[in-house]
Amino acid sequence: MKKIVLACLLMGVSVLAQDTSKWICPSEVPQPEDNKLTKERIELGKLLYFDVRLSRDDTISCATCHSPSRGWSDEVPTSKAVGFQGRVGPRNSPTILNSAFQKKQFWDGRAKSLEAQALGPIEADVEMNMPLDMLIPKLNKIQGYKELFAKAYPESKGVITKEYLAKAIASFERTVISPEAPFDKYIKGDKNAISAEAKKGFELFQGKAHCTDCHDGWNFTDGSFHNIGLNDGELTGKELGRYNVKARPAWYGVFKTPTLRDVTKSYPYFHDGSVKTLKEATVLCSEGGRYENNVKNKSEYMKKRDLSEDEVDAVVAFMHTLTGPDVKVDIPTSFPQ
């Protein structure tokens, strides 16, 4: 399948000013040459994504922390991901919505592709806690999966490896794309698709509030990394963010800018899940972060914007227009045997 037509690609061309084109979803989803999307790969990946047998105790699937009904984030909203036997992870579960368009995966960007990302949560002891040297033999004993891998990846001849496992899961994840939201109708020319308050919020979002410094383009993220001042003083452990990937001064305490698509569904907010409401998150950013001083490597974009409460409310009203219907997905009720 050389080209994948996605829900948001049906939005059409904007009838507003030409410079609004950056708010329109791209016409094709990025795909690596060695893992082009096919129906067989997507269906196989979906089964694997929802199959709890990929976890050590057969209780957790990828969907446990990235649920279709919760904006592809936690089924139960928590500040930190909860995995194997109730173990708590170090960070909030990020949404996988539109992750196909992200050049770096995870909050710290340590994975360069969805394929590189797919196996990490499976092996993580605080998530699915399933070593691949245990999982791969387990999957190879399931005849139904062997047959599906043979169809999806004929060169595998039905032999399941970690590489094919990663490719299959990544194939399904690439189809998790935002459906049309009220904002998309508005940007196409339907002036009645959003409220007057939301329109004011959109103007503030681009102007006085400076939200587009980080949340720009149709996916409302620059795909980059920033320290937004959630912590002061010296950082340690996972709070070092991308600095743990490579100790570059510019990466100290920085985390990936999340998409704002379906943001009303994916609370709590930020990498540490420390903020419960969208209004609180907006206020924090408009105040230049939680801490003003003693924040090493704080982003230059984090400045006080002097927004009134009405202006904050307008920005929040606008962000609500970025929420569309849930992505249509037939959740499997039976799995290969």
Q: Which residues contact 261 (CB under 8 A, 6 or more apart)?
A: 95, 97, 98, 178, 181, 219, 220, 322, 323, 324
Nearest in space to 183 (alpha carbons), one of 14, 7, 49: 14
Half-sphere exposure of residue 300: CA atoms within 13 angstroms, side-chain side? 1
Q: Which of 40, 43, 127, 180 is catalytic?
A: 127
Q: Give the three-state DSSP class for 247.
A: coil
Which single residue is written with the structure tokens 């990025």?
30
The CA distance from 161 to 174, in Å, is 20
Amino acid letter, residue 81? A
Supply the DSSP string of 5-41, one letter for each residue.
Answer: --GGGGG---SS-GGGGGGSPPSS----GGG---HHH
Residue 30 near residue 101 (C-beta atoms within 8 A): yes
Nearest in space to 161 (alpha carbons), one of 149, 173, 148, 144: 149
Amino acid letter, residue 16? L
The CA distance from 30 to 210, in Å, is 28
The CA distance from 84 to 124, in Å, is 9
Judge whether 127 counts as a catalytic residue: yes
Q: Which residues pair with 105 in a beta bridge?
A: 111
Catalytic residue positions, numbered = 127
